Amino acid sequence: MTTDSPSSTDFVRRMIVEDNESGRFDGRVHTRFPPEPNGYLHIGHAKAINLNYGIARDFGGKFNLRFDDTNPTKEEEEYVQSIIEDAHWLGVDWEDRLLFASDYFDQLYDWAVQLIEQGQAYVDDLSADEIREYRGTLTEPGKESPYRNRTIEENLDLFERMKNGEFPDGSRVLRAKVDMASGNINLRDPVLYRILHATHHRTGDKWCIYPMYDWAHGQSDSIEGITHSICTLEFEDHRPLYDWFVEKLGIYAPQQIEFARLKLTYTLMSKRKLLKLVDEGHVNGWDDPRMPTLSGYRRKGYTPEAIRDFTERIGVAKNDSTVDFALLEHCVRQDLNQHSPRVMAVLDPLKVVITNYPEGQTEELFAINNPEDESAGTRKVPFSRELYIEREDFMEDPPRKFYRLVPGREVRLRYAYFVTCVDVVKDDDGNVVELHCTYDPATRGGDSPDGRKVKATLHWVSAKHAVDGEVRLYDQLFSSPFPEDVAEGKTFLDNLNPDSLTVLTGCKMEPSLAGVEAGQRFQFERIGYFCVDPDSASGKPIFNRTATLRDTWAKIQQRK
RNA sequence: UCGGGGAUCGUCUAAUGGCAGGACCGGGGACUUUGAAUCCUCUAAUCGUGGUUCGAAUCCACGUCCCCGAGCCA
């Protein structure tokens, strides 16, 4: 069980074990997930959430949900709500520790004053452009601001007046006094506070100066007693700055550990780009089933269990990596195969008349709801003289390995009878519009008493009992496995897959699907997994395709 | 000619001086009232060059390549 579970031996857990053995945090383990409420959670966040929560769970520790809401110009309450909902859906529990960096604004302000008093922070009057110029470049050191050596008294006065709203946006900032020549640009006197006359989603208009993320993040972890502050690689060279802050402030120091963020083929994780997809209408909102957001996957029919399984299988490391989308899909199929009830639905109906079946007769046939789960029971499906089968299950002139219905061939209708195609009805253009078949009454239920074998079993729906439904077929949103790799002059939008959504109406479904509710998941036998969309109306179900079944026949066809 | 990270099957990830293993993908087969599931099986890797060592993916040296960093974003 632990042998093939990389999560049990990942480097993060190993470091925590070491800390526990050395008694560094008195054996405590306390993690957190710190999202900025400026977008919806995506599958990459799920990796971070499950990592942090999983560690807290495994080590008997605690887990906080904390919003890093330090920039009121980009953050919204809608995002806070969606993040809480999605995190809950994933199955993580922060007990009563729903926290906000904005809860610490007063403390952060006091600490800024402390830094000023210690001569380690100053108010800078340089413009944003000037600050950038003074910062130097990656290869050249920066130079010190002319305001760097103001007196403590002047800094204290100016900073308080910044807080009091005496200065316009952008006119001054508070900076830490670290080292303008550092090879680490984060240490070249980073900005701590900027003036922003903006309304904050929680603190309203109380503040007109807001802490920068770098100033708020480490101290927020410190306040919360976080032991292991797990974040992504790009914050690796911010760690020295966070350590500098807690040291100068003389406060509790968490250990930051960085891991590689998730990348997935055929998908984007950039919140900026996802926002663009939503804003420009390339998708129908953050919860569009083509989005890599948790709400999108949820609407598509993915389960939190499948996502958790996925986040465990991909492991945790520092290598830049791009996980094959096929692995996510594998996890989804595995879970759904285990748990979703089977039903029959015909997506592209072709009428079949059983010519030797009595007109007006209906019989109820037993069907197994889930062969993987006996407790799911059985149900009855109505059979009658006129049926629908899948159009692609018939070929008049079949290739070598096609062993479904063809003229003169016998196949099985699942749970029903063996039928043989005896006639093909066409319209004036030569399109097949109807099939005439005969059935063998002795094969009721799908078994032939004489041991006769058929190569294929087809799903079907009784025409007069069928429920009409809509089916939304989703494919990858991007046609390229690496949508962000674009040629000169192109953007990721050029990689959008024009066929990412196909809407099928007039699909014929077995009558048990008449009263389904949004969120219910099914396997349409021989086709795939589907989830009832919230757009469904009573008697008019709409299904989103979660994933296709693995399809050996499709592979054989593609090869040629 | 800056600072910080990283290179193991096609992909993700183990092995932390002692048989390079697992999963996904792909190939083949068995079974089959889902061309599903399940089962069996095959393909396939230590960035390079030296060195240390009985023994190196692992330690050392020198290279090469990749990622991140110059927001008053997070």
The reply to whether the CB atom of residue A390 sits less than 7 A from any atom in nucleic acid chain B is: no
Q: Which nt has its C1' nearest the CA of A125? A: B72
The pair of three-digit structure tokens given for residue A538, joined into one six-digit string: 């009573």
- Distance set, CA A186 to CA A136, A145, A237, A364 (Å): 12, 16, 7, 72
CA distance A193 to A191: 6
Element (H, E) at A78: helix A77-90
Interface predicted TM-score (ipTM): 0.96
- The C-alpha angle with vertex A330 and arms to A324 and A336, in degrees rounded to 5, equals 150
Mean pLDDT computed over A376-394: 97
Half-sphere exposure of A459 (CA within 13 A, CB side): 20
Mean pLDDT to the nearest integer, A132-161 = 97
Read off φ and ψ for residue A341, nearest 5 degrees: -65, 145
Gap from A31 CA to B57 C1', in Å? 32
The pLDDT tens digits for A38-95 are 999 999 999 999 999 999 999 999 999 999 999 999 999 999 999 999 999 999 999 9
Which nucleotide C1' is nearest A140 CA? Answer: B2
When pLDDT is averaged across residues A132-150 and rounded to a whole number, the result is 97
CA nearest to nucleotide B38 C1': residue: A372
A379 given a catalytic annotation: no
Q: Of the listed A32, A47, A175, A271, which one is catalytic?
A: A271
Strand B closer than 7 A to residue A499 Cβ: no
Q: Which of A57, A97, A202, A261 is catalytic?
A: A261
Burial class (CB in 10 A: 0-12, 13-18, 19+), A310: buried
Which neighbouring-strand residues pair with A162?
none
pLDDT per residue over A276-327, tens digit each?
A: 999 999 999 999 999 999 999 999 999 999 999 999 999 999 999 999 999 9
Q: What is the pLDDT of residue A375?
A: 96
Each as own residue / partner, the long-range contacts of residues A357-365 (CB below 8 Å, 24 or more positions apart, any chain) are A357/A384, A357/A385, A357/A439, A358/A385, A359/A385, A360/A385, A361/A385, A362/A462, A362/A464, A362/A465, A365/A415, A365/A416, A365/A444, A365/A445
Cα separation, A435 vs A425, in Å, equals 6
**Distances in whole angstroms, Cα of residue A58 to Cα of each of A16, A17, A53, A226, A517:** 11, 11, 9, 16, 36
Residue labelled with tokens 């058929």: A454
Distance CA A560, CA A554 (A): 10
Tens of pLDDT, residues A425-470: 999 999 999 999 999 999 999 999 999 999 999 999 999 999 999 9
The pTM (predicted TM-score) of the whole model is 0.95
CB A252 within 8 A of CB A225: yes
pLDDT tier for residue A538 given thresholds of 50, 70 and 90: confident
Q: What is the mean pLDDT of chain A?
A: 96
DSSP state of A358: P
The rounded distance, in Å, linking the Cα atoms of A259 and A227 is: 16
Nucleotide nearest to A137 (CA to C1'): B70
Q: Which of A479, A475, A496, A499 is nearest to A548 (CA)?
A: A475
Chain B bases under 7 Å from protein CB? 1-8, 10-16, 21-27, 33-38, 66-74
